Amino acid sequence: NAGVTQTPKFQVLKTGQSMTLQCAQDMNHNSMYWYRQDPGMGLRLIYYSASEGTTDKGEVPNGYNVSRLNKREFSLRLESAAPSQTSVYFCASIPTVYNSPLHFGNGTRLTVT
């Protein structure tokens, strides 16, 4: 049982480049999330998806797009990376909010130069 899998683990981009962070869960969870973690800022919600085919903005959605491809996969795309997007990105999933904790992936460390 792999849980929540994120790829890649590390990435270095130049300003203006694009990339997609991949996330997949094998627990048949309905809801999936993307967070970024920055020192002193804690975890901030970028986007979330309550079910297949739906996505909603979180606290810091600007500069990002997401796709809930199917129930298992939830990708995060940076169309034109900026140094301010240097961060550690975590994907998480949950069956439903009621009575369930988040299951987190191991994170993707992204550096934009």
Q: Applying CB under 8 A, which residues contact another protein?
A: 31, 33, 35, 40-45, 48, 50, 56, 58-59, 90, 92, 94, 96-99, 101-102, 104-107
What are the residues facing 78 on neighbouring strands? Answer: 19
96/111 with CB nearer another protein: 96
**With the CA atoms of 95, 20, 8 and 44 taken in that order, what torsion angle do they form, in degrees rounded to the nearest 10?**
-60
State the minimum distance, in angstroms, from the CB of residue 25 to another protein.
13
Cα three-residue angle 103-21-84, rounded to 5 degrees: 100
State the minimum distance, in angstroms, from the CB of residue 103 to another protein.
8
- Could you tell me the two tokens for 50? 């309550």
State the minimum distance, in angstroms, from the CB of residue 29 to another protein.
11
